[in-house]
Amino acid sequence: MKTAYIVDAGVVVNSIVIADDANPIAFGALLGPEGVGVGIGWTFNGMEWALPVEPDATLDDLRAAKIAVITAAADALLSAGAPVDSGLHVALDDGSRADLTAMAATATAASAGAVVWLDSYARGWIAIENVRIPLATPAAGLALAAAVGDYYAAIVQRRRDLKDMALSAEDAAALDAVDITAGWPAASIGGT
């Protein structure tokens, strides 16, 4: 058995397996070069076989790649958590942000005297590193929630700004000029 190739307009569009004594021309096919695994997409100009040529990336392809890198950069920052002055990090996943919002609501009510600042909050917020961030007062809780919320929002807004710049780039040079390394929030925030 041997492999033969069907070529249409100089491009291999299919391969077939024929008997060793079969004539590939009878099947509208050609034999490829010895010892080379020709495949669909290869070209044949009547004399030489060549690997498929990758088409140049379109502006849409380049945009999609740039947006994927922007998204990955934001995701990495979100996964690392919001850094606080003590070198710890506050988780930024949906559940952690909801818990932080609930703590901030309790701190607001405690600051107004409507409820007491509970010991469960005063003992501290548990960081990603499994260490407590002290929150002795409602004001400390509010400061942490505000700082972490601002850090999260800064990441989300920067991601959106960069995506908007990538989407509005009129050519590859303008797209390449979008600096995805600048403008992210600082590596340390206050609030503790």
Domain ranges of the chain: 2-50, 59-176
Q: What is the spatial distance between Cα 73 and Cα 155, in angstroms, rounded to a whole number? A: 9
Bridge-based pairing of strands 132-133 and 125-126 is antiparallel
Residue 26 DSSP symbol = G
191 pLDDT higher than 50: no
Amino acid in the structure at residue 110: A
For the chain, what is the mean pLDDT? Answer: 91
Q: What is the spatial distance between Cα 18 and Cα 31, in angstroms, rounded to a whole number? A: 10
Query: pLDDT: is 86 or 89 the higher one?
Result: 89
Q: Residue 124: how many CB atoms within 10 A of its CB?
A: 17
190 pLDDT higher than 80: no
pLDDT band at 188 (very low <50, low <70, confident <90, very high): low
pTM: 0.71
